[in-house]
Each structure stands twice: as C-alpha cells, then as structure tokens.
Amino acid sequence: MSFTSLLKDFWRKVSVRVYIVALLDFLLLSLAVYLGYVIRFGIFIPYYIDDWLKVGFALPLVCVVVFALAGEYKTIWPHAGTEDYVKFLWVYMIAVLIFLIGITMTEMAVFPRTSFAISFFVGLFLCGGLRFSWLMAKSVHVRSNSKRLRTFIVGAGEAGAFLARDLMRTEESDLIPVGFIDDNEDKKGKYVSGLRVYGDTSEICALAERENIQVVLIAIPSVRGRKIREIYNALASINIQVRILPSLWELADGRISVSGVRKVKLEDLLGREPVRIDLDPSMNYIGGKRVLITGAGGSIGSEIVRQVLHNRPLEVFVLGHGEQSIYLLMEEINRMKVNIPVHPVIADVADEIAIDNLFRANDIQVVFHAAAHKHVPLMEFSPREAMRVNGLGTRTIARCAGKYNAQRMVMISTDKAVNPSSIMGATKRLAEKVLEHEQSNYPETKYMAVRFGNVLGSRGSVIPKFEEQIAAGGPVTVTHRDMKRYFMLIPEAVSLVIQAGALGHGGELFVLDMGEPVVIREMAELLIRLSGYEPYKDINIVYSGIRKGEKLYEELFYDENSVHGTLHPKIFVSKIKAESSKNIQNIDDTLEYALRYPDEALGILKKLVPEFSHE
C-alpha cells in the first residue's frame, strides 16, 4: 500500500470532531500570536506583518501536529480529570519548545521575547479554556436534569470529592450532588469540588429538609456501623434514602466511582463495630498440621475451610453429609489453585466406624466441628435426629479426637443452648456437656466450644426470607413484635472459631461481644425502607406468632459471674458448666438408649439437660 493510500485511510478513520477541535486549536493559537504582536508593537505592527503571518501559521501548525501525535485529540474532554489537563500542559510546552528550536535554527521570522511570552500564555488560556468549557457544559447539562435526585454527600474528604466530581460528570447516574455534610468544623462553609460544606451530621435532618434532599450518600470509606446507624435513624423518619460507598477493602481496583455506591447493607446497621481479629498469630497452631473441618459444606464450615487454607496447613479434610455442598466447595477450592492437599469426605458425623477410620488413617491434629442440625422449628418434629447428629455426632468426633491424640477440637455451639426452650438448643447444650465429658477422658486434647448468635448471610438466616417477601410485594412475616436476637457476620464468626482454638487450654466456652440484641421487627422495617418502600404503608408486616421452641430473646451465659475477659477485648470465656459426675458418666448409655427408642428421645433429652424448658 502506497503512502498516499495510507494517508487517505488515516483521514477516513479520523472523526469529524477531531477535525473541528484541531481547526479551533489552530485558529485560537493564531489569535494568540496576533495578540502577542499587537500588544508588543501596537501601531507599528504593519512593519512586522510578514513575521506575524509566518509565526501565526508555523506555531499553530506545530502545536496541532504534536497534539495529534500525543493523542490529545483522543481525550474525551467532557469527562477529563486533572491528569488529562496536566498532560495537555506538558504536550503544549513541548510543542512550543519544538517551534522555538525550529525558528531559532531557521531564523525564519522575528519573534520578540515579549510577543512570545504573551502568545504562549494567551494560547494556553484559549486552548485550555476551550477544553474546560466542554467539561463545564457537561456539568451544567447534568445539573439541569430535573429527574435526578438531589443528594448530600457525607464526608468532604478525598473519597467524597472524587464521588462528587464523578456524579457531576456522569449522565447515567440518577443522583446530582448538592453539597457536603462533614463533622470537621474547619470545613463548614467552605467549598469542595465546587460544592458547599453545609454543616455536620447533627444538623443533617434540618439541612436535608431545607435543601429538598432526596438521597444521602455516605462517602467515608472507613466509617463504622454505629455512625451509619445514627445517620440512617436520623433520616428514616423523613423518608430520605441512604446509600454508602464501600469500604476501601471492598474496592478491589482502588478506584472510587459512582458504580461503587450501594445501598446500606444490614451489616452496616448492627449497632456495633464489627469485631476485627488479627488471625496471623492465632493461626500458628494450624500451620503444618492435618486439619479436619466437619460440616464443611455449610456457611460457617466453608468459610473456616477458606481461612484455614490461607494459613498453610499440611492437609485439610472437608467432611460433609451432603455430597452437593462438598462438590461445590471442592470446585471453589480448585479455582483457588491452592497447593495444599484437600480431601473430600462424605460421611455422617454420627457414623462411628467411618469417623474412627478417618482419624486412624490420617493422624488428624486439629478439628473444627461445625456439623449440626440448626433449624429450630424443624428439629421440634425430629428430636431423635437432633440428638443423633448434635449429641452422638459430637461425641463421636470428640472421642476420636481424644483417642487418636488430636491436639485441639473447637466445636460451634449456639446462644440457644443457654436455658434452652427448643430441641435444637437442648441438643447443642448436650453437645457442650459431651465435650466436657470427653475433656475429662482425654486431658491431653484441648476441647473448647464457641457460642454464636444468628449469623447474617448463613443458610436459614431470616434476611433472605425477608428480602424474598419484600420482592414479592409483602407481607413480611415476623413471629412477634418484641422478638430480639443477637447477630454477627460470617467473618466474625469464623474469626472467633479460629481465635478460640488459639486461646483455649481445654474445657472453655467462648462468646463474642455481639453488642445489644436487635429487634427483628425493627430489622424488617429497615429492610423495607432500604428497598424503597414504607413499612405498613407500601408493604405490611404481619405477626405469625412464636413458633414451638422459640424464645423472645436469647442469653449468652448461664452464670455471668463466671465470665472472664481474654487477651482480645471482644471475646469472653467461661468454663463449660458440667452437671454432676453421675449425669456425665451416664450420657453415653442414656444417649444410645434414646436413639434405640425414638418415642422416649424427648423425655431422655430433658433428663440429660435439666435446664431444658419445653412445652
């Protein structure tokens, strides 16, 4: 292909917009040169008309060519950022420098220093102003869109400033920023990204109503749940929607943009700070060890597997009764491309032969026992099955751990085990007693239990049910208007399990400081509002009544006087409360008798767990 053909092909591919911008640059730079000569020579310019014509053509031509070669005409200026304008300045200076070198070497025209300085700065102002005018026109167009929702941004820091600029340049967003709210008194009344800082969060309701605000964005990436809840509660009464910028650890690419804004998640409204545990020192007992995780296909069990794999165990055995959940877990592990052997085990934790063979053949050193039946209403219809898995299953795992010299065993329990009113809670209390029993039989193995509240995001959590009911148009069903529950996040739960394995010396029961219990009715109301509806108006809440085995509120310990702090300020410990030695010794025979005679299972469970109150 000839040079002429290549040139023609290039000009065909260049858009009309590029021709127009290049022509405007040429004309504006010619004007700048003219002003440089006029201001310098005044009425004497006719004597320098030849020089002006030469410079007025050569300088704009060199600049346009250099701009094109540097890709300046590919920049979308209505969306340009600071770095684009800095680049333009450098390219402009290089183009002028090339022109100066050329005119000096050729002596083609007289171009006095004063004229040059005037032309340089006028040209920069005109060409830069042309580009900035497109950004301003875009911003005015976006602001003039009456369909966009007037928005306050909480946080006038770097994240808030980036977010404001992004919103003002993005036509696709449904939001238009009006101003900032910030608790820093020094910022009040000042301007950030062209928007005023109106006041602090204590004034947010009055300011929002005065400025007709419809949405509030929280743009403080490190903000904690307590502060978010305060802001949300203040705005909920005046029907203002709240959204939040993800935390910095959630922004995978490190950029803050409109697409990073999300609605407030329920995790943000726990009413307490999420518990952060530095697991690196804690995980020393896992490194280089053979680890067994039961219930590995569940929400908690699978997260334990992920955390354990990050800390270099020698081998990991993932045990589950449901083959599908273990299959999906193994698929995920394969995608992670870890170099640690992970062995799937399909077995029932109450199958003594299978569990004994597993321990005998593999020298298990650390056990995380997450397998259990956890659904309160369902277990009311299956007391034998609850005793078999939660009671006998725990005994089987714990006994094999001691028999084959495992170093540690951590069992997941529940706050429903305290003064239980449900069969599920009573069988988990039985599991705690079984653990204490095996601790006395195998003192070299360290047994410990961890009590959880309700885990957000786990299977069976009430949140997905509420979300489905809201999506279907309601009503949302709550058992009782005063029912309360403790809530925690899956990462918190797993961190606690792993930390317990490091802190325990045997026979301990660990509990996380989960703050104040949450009223389920209030949680349902929040979810409805966060979905853009008004509770009891758009979507109703109905009360179905307390189900069999449920309590209005849960407890964490039997005797709070026996509770002690640990090295971590948010983790508390107590000894697993054992009954008389006679009851402990009879657990084995009594449990097996209950499994042989299902009709007597419930009565036997009440004898094994005297604190069990069941109607």
Closest CA to 526 of 212, 174, 271: 271
Predicted local confidence at residue 499, as pLDDT: 81
DSSP 576: -
CA gyration radius, the chain: 35
Closest CA to 495 of 306, 356, 227: 306
pLDDT per residue as tens digits for the range 566-583: 777 777 887 765 433 345
Closest CA to 431 of 379, 407, 381, 396: 396
Which residues lie below 8 Å from residue 84, measured CB to CB, with a gap of 6+? 75, 77
User: Distance between CA 393 and CA 391 in Å, rounded?
Assistant: 5
Predicted local confidence at residue 446, as pLDDT: 93
Q: What is the pTM of this model?
A: 0.61
Which residues lie below 8 Å from residue 535, measured CB to CB, with a gap of 6+? 524, 525, 528, 529, 541
- Round the average pLDDT of the chain to a whole number and report it: 78
User: Distance between CA 36 and CA 42 in Å, rounded?
Assistant: 10
Residue 491 has pLDDT above 90, yes or no: no
pLDDT per residue as tens digits for the range 320-357: 988 899 999 999 988 888 889 999 999 999 999 999 99
Predicted local confidence at residue 143, as pLDDT: 54
User: Distance between CA 234 and CA 177 in Å, rounded?
Assistant: 20
pLDDT per residue as tens digits for the range 353-391: 999 999 999 999 999 999 998 888 888 888 889 889 998
Q: Residue 219: pLDDT band by 50, 70, 90 thresholds?
A: confident
Angle at 539 between CA 538 and CA 540, to 5 degrees: 125
Predicted local confidence at residue 81, as pLDDT: 64
Higher pLDDT, residue 206 or 82: 206
Predicted local confidence at residue 277, as pLDDT: 59
Predicted local confidence at residue 506, as pLDDT: 85
Burial of 239 (0-12, 13-18, 19+ CB in 10 A): exposed
